[in-house]
Amino acid sequence: MPISLISNIYDNFRATYEDNPQFILDFFQKNIIVFNNVKAFIDEEDLHKYIELSCIYAESLYNKGRYNDTVDSTTISMSIIDKEILRLNADEIKDDWYYSILFLKGMASYSLKDFKTATPIFKELILFDPKNEKYGNWLRHSQQKQRQWINTIILIIGTVFILVGAIARFYTKNYIVRQSFPIIGITLLIGYYIFELYSNRSFRKSSRA
Residue-wise pLDDT tens digits, 78-123 = 999 999 999 999 999 999 999 999 999 999 999 999 999 999 999 9
The tens digit of pLDDT for each residue in 157-196 reads 778 878 877 777 777 767 666 677 778 878 877 877 776 6
The domains of the chain are located at 5-146, 148-208
> Percent of the chain at pLDDT above 70?
86
Calculate mean pLDDT across residues 131-136. 92
Percentage of the chain with pLDDT > 90?
Answer: 55
pTM for this structure?
Answer: 0.74
pLDDT tens digits, one per residue of 32-59:
888 888 888 999 999 999 999 999 999 9
What average pLDDT does the segment 53-68 reach?
95
Average pLDDT over residues 143-170: 76
Q: What is the CATH number of domain 5-146?
A: 1.25.40.10
Tell me how far apart the alpha carbons of residues 35 and 77 are, in angstroms, rounded to a whole number. Answer: 10
CA-derived radius of gyration, the chain: 25
Cα dihedral 34, 62, 107, 125 sign: positive
Give the pLDDT confidence score for residue 183 in this predicted structure.
81
Please report the DSSP string for 13-65 in residue order.
HHHH--S-HHHHHHHHHHTHHHHHT----SSHHHHHHHHHHHHHHHHHHHHTT
